[in-house]
Amino acid sequence: MLRAFCIANKRGEILFITIFEPLVTKAIFDPFLSELSSSPHGDPPPFFTKEDHKYVYVFRDDLYWACVVSQNSLTDECGPLLMTESLSQLHQVCSTLCGALTQHSITANATLIMEIVQETMNGGFVQMQTADKLQSCIYSTVVAPKETSALTSVPGLFGIEKSAPCTAAQQSSLAVDSSKRELYVDVVEKVWASVSSSGTVIRAEVNGSIVTRCFLPGNPVLSLMLNTQLSTTPKEGFNTGTRMSEVEFGNGVEIGSGNNGRQLSVMTVPGQEITIARYTLAPDHPHLLPFTLTSSIHSLTPSDSELRLKLTSNTGMGTVSPQVTFKTVAPVSTAAVMSQTSGPRDQVIRFSPEDKTLTWTISQFPGGSYAQAFIRLVDSGGDVSIEAGELEFEVSRWVCSGVRIERVKLNPPVDNLNKWVRYLTTSDSVSIRLS
């Protein structure tokens, strides 16, 4: 039997929690989170005991899926392998029903995940379930945050087009059309960062994955040539390549002995998405964020002040951001705002009087350009300050790591093949201080 279950991020924040025993509280996971932050050699083992609590967890999509097992219960007697497999299965079900999993999508779909957990961990007793069997028991609908929309298989004008995550009920067995021969290779990265008011990156973490999906008859072998080696081994001398702290290759992926290990090969399966590699940039790698935000605030009158924002794109020509949003909280006394913008045409500034949230949204933001916003805060006071804000973005045709696909080859060759190599960077959590 299980005592509790939670989903936590790398910063030790619990995004979702379920308690199965009446006397248990959220504090039962404090030893678990403490062990994660204090472990000297990375993450602790997937099963460990601390302060008389038995913890089992798996690490998926940059999130910890953890549970507390009751002492001397049947689940405890079966061993940790049962729970690691059950947690992996729970993650797969949530990924199928919710789409791409980030801390934003977990929070937005808390009700849906609660239903899934209730079905798969009924009262703390593990139930072996799959997405197709659970679909008839799920009543909640998917909430799709813009930055975590699932990727579709349709090439768009700006690289990867997005749609709301599909549900198990909408999925069906794929019949490969022999007249439609398409291959997709996607490099997708998520960014977490904390930036000072001067623009200096205090801390950043970039997690990426290389994913392929083909619509081809048979099982041709896909070979990719990268511009850099995916390796955690430090190189001697001056090195301008990408430095990784974690690299995990998918099942069946072979690393070529030549070309300095830059060639990766895997057998394709018609219609099935295959993860070729997952990686995390090294902390000492120079993180180039796609945007730089500068701000200033000064007094206009004894009652009003003006906030000036300038957002500069660092992604270069040929790239585009379908949507960029900056959110912050205005001073409590602010009654209304008046705004003026310059730069890209599609800019909107919204103010919510209820929670004083100020939102600046830019659509179709071309790379290498900048946008400015001049916002008058009415009745905010002449001498005020705004501490920080959150930047949310999606950037097509660009990734922070600089990983590129130089060559795509199939063996045996396929005639009349349409190959799509796409790049996408999304924000997971980018906090920027303004003062």
Same domain, 297 and 280: no
Tell me which of 90, 118, 137 is where a domain ends: 137
pLDDT in tens, the chain (435 residues): 899 999 998 878 899 999 998 888 999 999 998 888 777 666 788 899 999 899 999 988 888 999 999 988 877 788 888 888 889 889 888 887 877 788 878 888 888 899 888 888 888 888 867 776 777 777 777 776 543 333 333 333 333 444 333 333 333 333 344 456 789 999 999 998 999 988 888 888 899 999 998 888 788 899 999 998 888 776 554 455 677 888 989 888 999 877 777 899 999 888 778 899 999 988 777 667 899 999 999 999 999 999 999 999 999 888 989 899 999 999 999 999 999 999 998 999 999 999 999 999 999 999 999 999 999 999 988 788 899 999 999 999 999 988 999 999 999 888 888 888 999 999 988 999 998
Same domain, 263 and 315: no
160 is a domain residue: no
Q: From 113, 114, 115, 110, select the one nearest 137 (Cα to Cα).
A: 115
Which residues on neighbouring strands pair with residue 168, listed in sequence order? none
264 is a domain residue: yes
Which residue has tokens 């299965």? 89
Cβ neighbour number for residue 286 with a 10 Å cutoff: 10
43 is a domain residue: yes
pLDDT value at residue 180: 61
3-state DSSP assignment of residue 300: coil
Same domain, 211 and 256: yes
142 is a domain residue: no
Same domain, 269 and 214: yes
Same domain, 273 and 402: yes
CATH number at residue 298: 2.60.40.1170
pLDDT value at residue 288: 77
Same domain, 378 and 420: no
For residues 63 and 424, give the distance between their C-alpha atoms in angstroms, rounded to a whole number.
20
- Domain boundaries, position 385: 291-396
Same domain, 181 and 283: yes
- State CA 434 to chain mean position distance: 24
For residues 341 and 293, give the distance between their C-alpha atoms in angstroms, rounded to a whole number.
15
For residues 396 and 321, give the distance between their C-alpha atoms in angstroms, rounded to a whole number.
6
Domains contained in the chain, number: 3
Burial label for 425, CB within 10 Å (0-12, 13-18, 19+), is buried
Long-range CB contacts for residues 82-88, cutoff 8 Å, separation at least 24: 82/126, 83/2, 83/47, 83/56, 83/126, 84/46, 84/47, 84/56, 84/58, 86/120, 86/121, 86/126, 86/128, 87/56, 87/57, 87/58, 88/58, 88/60
Same domain, 131 and 13: yes
163 is a domain residue: no
pLDDT value at residue 19: 92
148 is a domain residue: no
Same domain, 273 and 406: yes
214 is a domain residue: yes
φ and ψ at residue 36, rounded to 5 degrees: -65, -40
266 is a domain residue: yes
Same domain, 122 and 260: no
Same domain, 271 and 410: yes
pLDDT value at residue 307: 94
